[in-house]
Amino acid sequence: MEKYITKADGKKELYDKQKINTSFIKAGASNKIAAKATKTINRKVKDNMSTDEIYHNALGHLRVIEPRVALKYSLKRAIMNMGPEGFVFEKYIARILKEYGFFTEVGQILSGYCVEHEVDVVAKKEDKTCFVECKYHNSPGIKSDIKTALYVHSRFLDIEKAYREKESSNHSHFEAWLVTNTKCTSDAIKYAGCVGLRILAWHCPEEENLQYFIETKKLYPISILSTITEKQKEILFDSNIILIKEIGNYSIDNLARLISVSKLEASKILNEANII
């Protein structure tokens, strides 16, 4: 019997077990483990069940059979759990770009030809300067739409015109980027492709998207860890610790002191960090 599920935006769609299987494989599960986990989840899926409930069932099952895969499977939600505001996400994007050879600055006030603009991330590499607007959402049902794309591009044009007025910038290459942790509407993607606005979102573009740049160099955020509390996560973010690889620089004693936990708890956090 066919089953329907309710997506985060309230829309209903036919349940597709192959999507669940594919998501397990993308998280690093073997074909055998993915097939076994999919079979277990299929038995639990009920008609009109929310995607959120399906996700938590899948995550709970993976934590039992494949903890490493479970961590990677939770990546999208981990980014959404960076906090209520988008500042940590901006710093996270800056760290990712830095790992790919860019010199980055966060929260810059730049003079446009007409007015000043606050740019989330300015990323430079060789003769290329990228003005990055980060759109952070803590709910999977929210998409960046055509209004956002128009806004980002119009700001870029004003900034670019001001930079072109400078003699030293005549041979520079400027780019406008829209980076989001969720998705973009089809109109936003179509417009971006037309005007040369680069979109870096979840599964967009099809190949070199946000998930690709994270997974390729294992640039996982510390919010992916299941062994830290919300308060401990905030302490780490406030201490400018964003990536899992950065927490690995701490000894058990130093981490325990930093987030006010026992050495045993600190050891568990570092062990989980080492898994991924």
pLDDT at 171: 62
Percent of the chain with pLDDT over 90: 57
* 27-41 residue pLDDT tens: 878 888 888 888 888
Q: What is the pTM of this model?
A: 0.86
Q: Do the beta carbons of residue 48 and residue 4 sit within 8 Å?
A: yes
* 186-196 residue pLDDT tens: 999 999 999 99
Q: Do the beta carbons of residue 214 and residue 236 sit within 8 Å?
A: no
